[in-house]
Each structure stands twice: as C-alpha cells, then as structure tokens.
Amino acid sequence: MSVLSVTTIPTRNWKNKNIDLVVERDKNRKKSQQSVDERIHYMWFIYLKLCLNLEELNYYVEKKGGRGKVISKKKLKVSKTIYKKWDLSEVTNLSFSDWYKDEKHRLLFTEGGFKHTRGTQYHSLVKRYNVFIEYYNGRTGDYDKDMKLCEDIIKKYQKERFNQVKREDKRSKNLKTFNSIIHKDLKDCEKTLLSVCQGQFPKSV
C-alpha cells in the first residue's frame, strides 16, 4: 500500500513539563486574534497539503450503507480553479512558514475570500489529521491487526479516552470501541478534506 508523504503534527508532551506555564502560554496566544488566525491558516494549509497528497494517490472517499457495504465513492480532487492563487506546487513542497511569509499568500485569508468557519477548534483538527495519517499509513487490510492499530492510535493521541474505555468496557469489547472511535475521526476528517478541496475550511461535523 502507498504511504502518505505528509507527516503528523507533533503533539504536546506533558511529561516533566510545567503545565501551568504551558497553559498560561496558550492563554496569552489566544489574546492575539492574529495568532489565533495564523494557527487556523496553518491547519488549512496542511489539510490542503494532505488533500494534494491523497489526490496523487487516487484516494476515494467511500459512503457505506448497512453492514459496511460501499454504496458510493467520491474521488478526492482539489479545485485548481479555486486555488489558482495559492501556488499549489509550493504548497506541496514548502513548509507553512516558508509559504506563509509571502505576503500574497497571507492576504489570501483576508482579501482573497478564504474565510474559515467561526468556532474552528484547532486541537480537534490536529487530532483528526494525525489519526487519519497514522491509520492510513499503518493499516494492513488484516481485520485483527487494523483493530489493534485503532487501539494503539487512541492510546497515543487520546490517553484519557483510552483509559476511560479500558475502565468501562471488558477486554472483549475494547477493540470494537476503539475501532468505532477511530473510524468516526476518519469520517470527520474526510468531511473536512472534501470541504477543503472546494475552498472551505473546515467542514462542520
């Protein structure tokens, strides 16, 4: 199976950290609307980058009916017309900081009509993005191995949720629960990806 060239976003490691200091730093960052907007612009950029990568790999978003039967498929395809001023080849090859420092790129979000949805949740977008990449790159097609992969991803990115599920469910039910959580994140991520392809971010879920 093909592997994505994009990588996951590093997440915060709380171990041996001054949590109060980190929380205060987050609060200070949110006081600046420019900082808040820039983080969302970053997320839009990397979701678009993921879309372009998936388009190269001929990725299809599947809609399933009862018993998991595929009832329709939609190819993920970025609108080159909508994104004609984004320099998509640069999106593919540059980091966000290098791309964003170009004023014409920054102005896309204020004068180019690319407005993100109000109430956009940065951390939820990061989680879904990371889950999608980890699952896409780690899946094998083997049912048992892919179920275990879901457990490992939950443990990595949602430690609190992982512990909660482990407490509430018997072991025989755990893997199905983890599988359901991951696949919901995958579908939510796909909704955002389809929205991004059409110049909107994010898709409400």
Q: Where are the alpha helices (DSSP H) in the chain?
A: 19-31, 33-56, 88-93, 96-100, 103-106, 122-138, 143-157, 159-168, 171-197
Residue 31 or 60, more confident: 60
- Side-chain half-sphere CA neighbours of 149 within 13 A: 18
Q: What is the mean pLDDT of residues 26-37?
A: 69
Measure CA of the first residue to CA of the last residue in the chain; give whole Å: 29
pLDDT tens across 129-163, in order?
999 999 999 999 998 999 999 989 988 877 756 66
Nearest Cα neighbor of 132 from 182, 179, 60 is 182
Among 199, 146, 201, which residue's Cα sits nearest to residue 175?
146
Structural domain spans, the chain: 19-197
Winning range, highest mean pLDDT, from 40-49, 179-188, 194-203: 40-49
Residues 6+ apart with CB under 8 A from 21: none
Burial class (CB in 10 A: 0-12, 13-18, 19+), 73: exposed
Average pLDDT of the chain, as a whole number: 84
